[in-house]
C-alpha cells in the first residue's frame, strides 16, 4: 500500500536537506529522523510524494514551539516559508516528489541561503549550506554513477 504524501511547509525542504540529527527536543529529533532518514534519504526516497502546506506539517508535529496549526515564532516561520516558497517555486497545495524538490534546491543560486534562511537559528551552523553544496556537486539521480 502506498504511503500518504508527506505534508511540508516550504522552508522544511531545505531543513530536510541539511538535517544532521539535531533538533528542538528528543521527540522532534526522532520525528525528523524518521521522516528524513527513514523516508527521504532511504533507498528510492526520490519518489516520495510531498504536499506543500501553509501551516503546521509532519515535521512540526512534535515541535515544542508548535501552537495548534502555527508556531510561537509564527512571524519568523511565515517569513521563512514565504522566502523559501518564492525561491523554490512552491505554494500550498503543490505536490511534488522529493526528487523534484531536490532538483529545485539544486537550482538555487550561490549564496541563496544567506537571504532566504536569514531568520533561521540553524543557518549559523552551516549544515544546510554544506548539504546544498554536496547536492550541487553530486551526480543527478538519473546520471550514470
Number of structural domains the chain divides into: 1
Backbone angles phi and psi of 96, in degrees to 5: -155, 165
Cell 516550504 locates to 10
How far is Cα 110 from Cα 108, in angstroms, rounded to an integer? 7
* Residue 83, domain member (yes or no): yes
pLDDT string in tens for the chain (145-residue length):
567 899 999 999 999 999 999 888 899 899 999 999 999 988 667 889 999 999 889 998 887 777 888 787 788 889 999 999 999 999 999 999 999 999 999 999 989 999 999 999 899 999 999 999 999 998 876 544 3
The answer to whether the beta carbons of residues 14 and 118 sit under 8 Å apart is: no
Q: Which domain holds residue 85?
A: 6-137
* Residue 67, domain member (yes or no): yes
* Residue 56, domain member (yes or no): yes
* Residue 1, domain member (yes or no): no
Which residues are CB-contacts of 120 (< 8 A; sequence separation ≥ 6)? 11, 80
90, exposed or middle or buried, with CB in 10 Å at 0-12, 13-18, 19+? buried
* Residue 144, domain member (yes or no): no
* Residue 44, domain member (yes or no): yes
The cell numbers describing 126, all together, are: 552551516
The answer to whether the beta carbons of residues 98 and 14 sit under 8 Å apart is: no
Give which of 15, 18, 20, 31 is closest to 64, Cα–Cα: 31
40, exposed or middle or buried, with CB in 10 Å at 0-12, 13-18, 19+? buried
* Residue 145, domain member (yes or no): no
The cell numbers describing 11, all together, are: 522552508
Amino acid at each position: 500500500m502506498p504511503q500518504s504524501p508527506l505534508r511540508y511547509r516550504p522552508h522544511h525542504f531545505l531543513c530536510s536537506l541539511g538535517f544532521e540529527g539535531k533538533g528542538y527536543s528528543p521527540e522532534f529529533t526522532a520525528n525528523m529522523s524518521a521522516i528524513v532518514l527513514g523516508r527521504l534519504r532511504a533507498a528510492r526516497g526520490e519518489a516520495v510524494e510531498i504536499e506543500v502546506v501553509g501551516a503546521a506539517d509532519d515535521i512540526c508535529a512534535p515541535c515544542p514551539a508548535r501552537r495548534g496549526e502555527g508556531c510561537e515564532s509564527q512571524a519568523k516561520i511565515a517569513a521563512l516559508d514565504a522566502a523559501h516558497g518564492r525561491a523554490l517555486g512552491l505554494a500550498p497545495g503543490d505536490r511534488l516528489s522529493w526528487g523534484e524538490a531536490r532538483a529545485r534546491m539544486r537550482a538555487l543560486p550561490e549564496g541563496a541561503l544567506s537571504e532566504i534562511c536569514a531568520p533561521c537559528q540553524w543557518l549559523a551552523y552551516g549544515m544546510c549550506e554544506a548539504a546544498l553544496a554536496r547536492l550541487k556537486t553530486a551526480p543527478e539521480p538519473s546520471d550514470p554513477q
